[in-house]
């Protein structure tokens, strides 16, 4: 296990990716402990005082006008966690839970939440022990914080909920005892501080960003392979074209394609006598389309980086003035809008890939055998594999509908505008899976196209990508059972094999360089 000091308020995207992967032993700096103690002292004074302070000695939401006696303040926090643990659906992935634990600890450790350091220490201990609280994926509207999922996480911390062990639900109390972690006993405001906040929606959106990164890099490799399979031109990737427009993502994507195609014998073979004046948009406009998607993803990464470092519970404690101020940092609108932008970008990467498959199987455009088979008619080739890609691209269009434009008031209209950020981020995973499958089908199709052009070779990186596929799937000489091969090709998209081909090219700007 690697020791990792949480630089609270200043975590980088690389830090977040490491937290997502796990295998770390987390700690916080002494300066954070000093800030935690200062803010807790203010909450302790409020708890001992007579004035009504939301979250300390009042009810919650619409019940904020109900005063709670000093003898019942701890019970108030415990009841809050119990009553808010109402999630449904499949459990969140372990990597998402790891991020939730780490992000909540980092947020509370900034010293604006009024909790004791034992709260932060328990979050860190659960992360460090590799424990995964059982958190259902559905039940948050992304305002007043991710209440239900964070309540389930907290329920596990106090020993009343459940943990996941090898995919099975087990008693949290037993798991904590086995790990030597004392169940957390909540004091004034601590339950509210733990469940207010955007850590679930932020973790889900970061999970999507990190899982889509190798898929996007694979899309660039496969898109370039399709250019060569269709004997397309590399002229549209000339840097001068993109410089005069000035869109940074477009400029970078054009550079990616130039590097991926450099040295291709196939390109050289038709450079002088190509009678096609212009390639179809799905080839020619890849920098414009995928570059625009990259810009959206870079912006989303920046928003999520800010949110991961933010303090998002309520009320907030300002120890320099001794103030406790109620606000609305728990409203996850920034995350919702970022996730919606990611959804559109993910859908578009899949959509242009589907168009490239359609182009490859259309012999009148690609100048390859119809449906990429030598004996069309007897063989259907890639005819129906393309239909699968089309169905997935169409499904992504529905999933890409913005979640943030929907709002359903809750808590008797006290919470009358919500972000739907948690769903906005959660729905990204099936979209990524759909896009990865489209790209897996395109990889099979483009490699088949390259095989028709032999003995000519493509560029070094594209030949490496072709070889990776051929280790898993042979050239399709006659019709055969393709579904397992689509899965194997898709695995190359998901597992980083094609991503490593992309990253091995020296001098390319990183995807998230703008962050």
Report if residue 389 sits inside a domain: yes
Q: How many domains does the chain have?
A: 2
Q: Is residue 187 located within the same domain as residue 221?
A: no
Helices (H), 196-332: 199-229, 239-243, 248-261, 265-269, 281-284, 286-308
| Cβ neighbours of residue 401 closer than 8 Å, sequence gap 6 or more | none
Q: Are residues 173 and 282 in the same domain?
A: no
Q: Do 304 and 156 fall within a single domain?
A: no
478 lies in some domain: yes
DSSP class of residue 274? Answer: -
Token match 């729905």: residue?
Answer: 427
Residue 176 lies in a domain: yes
- Report which of 161, 105, 110 is spatially closest to residue 136, judged by C-alpha positions: 161
- Which percentage of the chain shows pLDDT scores above 70? 97
* 322 belongs to a structural domain: no
The rounded distance, in Å, linking the Cα atoms of 51 and 24 is: 43
d(CA 125, CA 226): 49
Largest CA distance in the chain: 88
* Residue 140, in any domain of the structure: yes
CATH number of 359's domain: 1.20.200.10
> Looking at the structure, do residues 374 and 230 belong to the same domain, yes or no?
yes
Check whether residue 81 and residue 191 sit in a common domain. yes
Region 6-29: mean pLDDT is 97
73 and 106 housed in the same domain: yes
- Listed residue (434, 440, 446, 442) closest to 484, CA to CA: 440
Residues 58, 189, single domain; the answer is yes
Asked if 153 and 256 sit in the same domain, the reply is: no
262 CB-near residues (< 8 Å, 6+ apart): 459
The C-alpha torsion from 106 through 107 and 109 to 114, rounded to 10°, is -160
SS (H, E, C) 219-230: HHHHHHHHHHHC
Q: How far apart (Å, rounded) are the C-alpha atoms in residues 332 and 418? A: 8
Token pair 């990865």 in the structure block, residue: 436
pLDDT, residue 412, reads 64
What integer pLDDT is reported at residue 53 of this predicted model? 81
Q: pLDDT tens across 94-151, in order?
A: 999 999 999 999 999 999 999 999 999 999 999 999 999 999 999 999 888 899 999 9
pLDDT confidence bin for 60, thresholds 50/70/90: confident
* Best CA proximity match to 372, nearest among 364, 126, 362, 127: 362
Taking the C-alpha atoms of residue 158 and residue 162, their distance in angstroms, rounded to an integer, is 10
**Would you please indicate which residues are annotated as catalytic (active-site) residues?**
54
Phi and psi at residue 89, to the nearest 5°: 95, -175
* Final residue before a domain boundary, out of 170, 196, 222: 196
**Which region among 51-55, 71-75, 399-403, 494-498 has the lowest average model confidence (pLDDT)?**
51-55
Global pTM? 0.96
Same domain, 11 and 74: yes
Closest CA to 466 of 497, 434, 496: 497
Q: Domain check: are 171 and 231 in the same one?
A: no
Domain range for 45 is 2-196
Residue 408 class from Cβ within 10 Å (0-12 exposed, 13-18 middle, 19+ buried)?
exposed
pLDDT tens for 187-212 read: 999 999 999 999 999 999 999 999 99
Q: Is the pLDDT of residue 488 over 70?
A: yes
- What is the phi/psi pair of residue 410, to 5°? -130, 175
Q: What is the DSSP letter of 71?
A: G
Residue 240 within any structural domain of the chain: yes
For residue 413, the model assigns a pLDDT of: 66
Residue 102 lies in a domain: yes
Task: Please write the tens of the pLDDT for every residue from 20-33.
Answer: 999 999 999 999 99
CA distances from 185 to 160, 263, 321 (A): 11, 65, 28
Q: Are residues 257 and 183 in the same domain?
A: no
Say what the pLDDT of residue 50 is. 83
Residue 327 lies in a domain: no
């Amino acid at each position: 296990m690697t020791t990792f000091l949480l630089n609270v308020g200043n975590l980088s995207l690389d830090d977040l990716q490491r937290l997502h992967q796990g295998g770390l032993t987390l700690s916080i700096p002494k300066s954070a402990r000093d800030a935690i103690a200062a803010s807790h002292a203010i909450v302790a004074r409020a708890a001992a005082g007579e004035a009504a302070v939301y979250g300390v000695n009042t009810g919650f939401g619409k019940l904020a006008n109900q005063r709670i006696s000093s003898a019942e303040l701890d019970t108030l926090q415990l009841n809050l966690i119990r009553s808010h643990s109402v999630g449904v659906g499949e459990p969140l992935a372990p990597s998402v839970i790891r991020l939730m634990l780490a992000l909540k600890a980092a947020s509370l450790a900034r010293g604006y939440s009024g909790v004791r350091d034992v709260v932060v220490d328990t979050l860190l201990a659960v992360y460090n022990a590799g424990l995964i609280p059982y958190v259902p994926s559905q039940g948050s509207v992304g305002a007043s914080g991710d209440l239900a999922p964070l309540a389930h996480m907290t329920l596990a911390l106090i020993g009343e909920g459940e943990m996941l062990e090898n995919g099975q639900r087990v008693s949290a109390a037993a798991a904590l005892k086995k790990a030597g972690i004392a169940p957390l006993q909540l004091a004034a405001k601590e339950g509210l501080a733990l469940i207010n906040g955007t850590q679930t929606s932020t973790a889900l959106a970061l999970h999507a960003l990190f899982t889509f990164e190798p898929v996007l890099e694979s899309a660039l490799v496969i898109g370039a392979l399709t250019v060569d399979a269709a004997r397309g031109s590399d002229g549209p990737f000339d840097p001068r074209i993109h410089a005069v427009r000035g869109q940074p993502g477009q400029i970078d994507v054009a550079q990616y394609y130039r590097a991926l195609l450099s040295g291709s014998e196939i390109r050289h073979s038709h450079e002088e006598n190509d009678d096609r004046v212009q390639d179809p948009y799905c080839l020619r406009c890849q920098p414009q389309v995928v570059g625009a998607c990259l810009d959206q993803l870079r912006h989303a990464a920046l928003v999520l980086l800010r949110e991961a470092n933010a303090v998002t519970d309520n009320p907030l404690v300002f120890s320099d003035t001794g103030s406790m101020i109620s606000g609305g940092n728990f409203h996850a609108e920034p995350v919702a809008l970022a996730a919606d932008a990611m959804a559109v970008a993910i859908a578009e990467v899949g959509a242009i890939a589907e168009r490239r498959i359609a182009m490859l199987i259309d012999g009148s455009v690609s100048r390859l055998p119809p449906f990429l088979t030598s004996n069309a008619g007897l063989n259907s080739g890639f005819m129906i594999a393309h239909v699968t890609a089309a169905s997935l691209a169409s499904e992504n269009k529905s999933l890409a509908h913005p979640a943030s434009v929907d709002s359903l008031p809750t808590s008797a209209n006290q919470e009358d505008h919500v972000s739907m950020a948690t769903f906005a981020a959660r729905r990204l995973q099936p979209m990524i899976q759909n896009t990865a499958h489209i790209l897996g089908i395109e990889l099979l199709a483009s490699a088949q196209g390259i095989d028709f052009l032999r003995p000519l070779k493509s560029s070094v990186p594209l030949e490496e990508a072709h070889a990776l596929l051929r280790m898993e799937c042979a050239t399709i000489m006659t019709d055969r059972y393709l579904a397992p091969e689509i899965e194997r090709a898709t695995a190359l998209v998901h597992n980083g094999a094609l991503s490593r081909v992309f990253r091995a090219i020296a001098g390319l700007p990183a995807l998230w360089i703008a962050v």
